[in-house]
Structure 1
Amino acid sequence: MTSTDKMLAKKAEHVGTMIFNNPDRHNAVSFEMWQAAGRILEDFAADPEVRVVVLTGAGGKAFVSGADISKFEDERASKEAVRRYNEETERVYARLAEFPKPTIAMIRGYCIGGGLGLAIACDLRFCNEAARFALPAAKLGLGYGYPGLKRFVDAIGPANTRDIF
């Protein structure tokens, strides 16, 4: 099973769990973490013993707090790097949205930006009382692609999507 120090994959009985393991940064996701997430999802999709996949964040304070902006200088330094980054994130979102098995976002604490995109792409979302949601892309000068917007509209409707954005 594919795991890295920042992206953990576990399997217990028939449940595959993907853990965003960057608690010092509220599970902010780097380009390498997006790549690892895609590989983990591919492994879970191909594993006949896995019947459901749960996404969660390590540390209990955050599900995923979005992109790791401390890495933007390196990971998004050129137009090509931005294109590659955006393609990778959309590939993971699309993989989740079209996943052949049920997917569940187990949200504790912050669910911001890309974390909200991950949660919307899952089939079900369960939150604790500490869950907090935000989408600060516009404040960071970042756009949101059509496929992501469509997932939001499909899941929560146009009015709620406008409120979030």
Structure 2
Amino acid sequence: MLDVTKSEKSYADGKILKSVTEGVGVVTFNNPDKRNAMSLDMWEGLGLALTELRDDEEVRVVVLVGAGDKAFVSGADISQFEKTRHNAAASEEYSRRSEAQRALLGNYPKPTISCIRGFCLGGGMQVAMLTDIRIAAADSQFGIPAAKLGIAYGYDGLRNLVSLVGPSWARLIMYTGMRIDSAEALRIGLVDRVIPTDELWGETMALARTISSNAPLAIKAAKITIAQVLKEPADRDMAAVKQIGLDCMDSEDFREGRRAFMEKRKPQFKGK
């Protein structure tokens, strides 16, 4: 499924894999026997992989993908619940230990893409909704079964769900615990594109390479500005928006973009 890669590394006893190909960082949820269900160790491994990719100047975009053909992430590892989330205090500790990784992904400075095949449920939805773009295979299924488990999904997860699908669909998904297919997910705005299953990885990597070849500062400007648009007016950091705009206009990449346009060639951006 995956392209030939370099800089391969593993975390969480091999359940999180990291690699870099052509400026694209890839993080793989590698727990296929449990349909890539997320344990605390995997959350912490995800954080380590994302931090290294964030700090790698060669990497301009990060793709998250599940190993195998059954799931992106099928949710939290429920077999751990008796140990890690058996009551309110334990659940609070679980949330605290995974909060840093969720915040890291939600505020990631580089573009992120979820490549989704098969089940994307519960905690998997939380991961996918924290990324910038969600590309799904035609055979994908989505849902949040919190109501069937007797747990609350949490403010951040529901804020992201409401921002994507609106309050009415969020209520329907949460109250029923229903699963929806990729066509419905596309219709309500939960995912951005649906691709034939056998073309999913190729199309996702083509999209990632397109983003990687564009000007990193211009993409950073878009990411920062969109994030501020989504905040309440009183909470917006307009100084940050102005500064990244100035950085773009003064950048070597802007000069390169102008020269490449005039010379009718593909620009070579450096993110400076």
Superposition TM-score, scaled by structure 2 size: 0.58
Amino acid at match of 2:42: M
Displacement after TM superposition at 1:94 (Å): 2.3
- Which residue pairs with 1:107 in the alignment? 116
1:123 to 105, 119, 132: 132
Amino acid at match of 1:145: G
- Which residue pairs with 2:30 in the alignment? 21
Amino acid at match of 1:130: D
- CA distance in 1 between counterparts of 2:160 and 2:104 reads 12
Identity %: 48
DSSP 3-state at the match of 1:3: strand
- Which residue pairs with 1:44 in the alignment? 53
- CA distance in 1 between counterparts of 2:151 and 2:86 reads 14
RMSD (CA atoms): 1.6
1:6 aligns with 2:15: yes
- CA distance in 1 between counterparts of 2:148 and 2:98 reads 19
Superposition TM-score, scaled by structure 1 size: 0.93
Displacement after TM superposition at 1:52 (Å): 0.5
Displacement after TM superposition at 1:13 (Å): 1.9
DSSP 3-state at the match of 2:138: coil
- CA distance in 1 between counterparts of 2:17 and 2:61 reads 16
Considering Cα pairs closer than 8 Å and 6+ residues apart, tell me whether 1 or 2 has the greater RCO.
1
Higher Rg of the two aligned structures: 2
Amino acid at match of 1:148: G
Where does structure 2 lack aligned partners over 5 or more consecutive residues? 1-6, 175-272
103-112 vs 136-145, which moves further: 136-145
Where does structure 1 lack aligned partners over 5 or more consecutive residues? none
Amino acid at match of 2:145: P
Any idea what the Cα deviations from partners look like across 1:104-153, whole Å, max 9, x if unmatched?
Answer: 00000000000011111110000011100010012111112112211111
DSSP 3-state at the match of 1:99: coil
Higher helix share goes to which structure?
2
- CA distance in 1 between counterparts of 2:46 and 2:53 reads 11
2:83 to 60, 74, 81: 74
1:147 to 156, 162, 182: 156
Amino acid at match of 1:28: A
Structure 1 runs of 4+ aligned residues shifted over 3 Å read 77-81
DSSP 3-state at the match of 2:36: coil
- Which residue pairs with 2:74 in the alignment? 65
- CA distance in 2 between counterparts of 1:120 and 1:86 reads 17
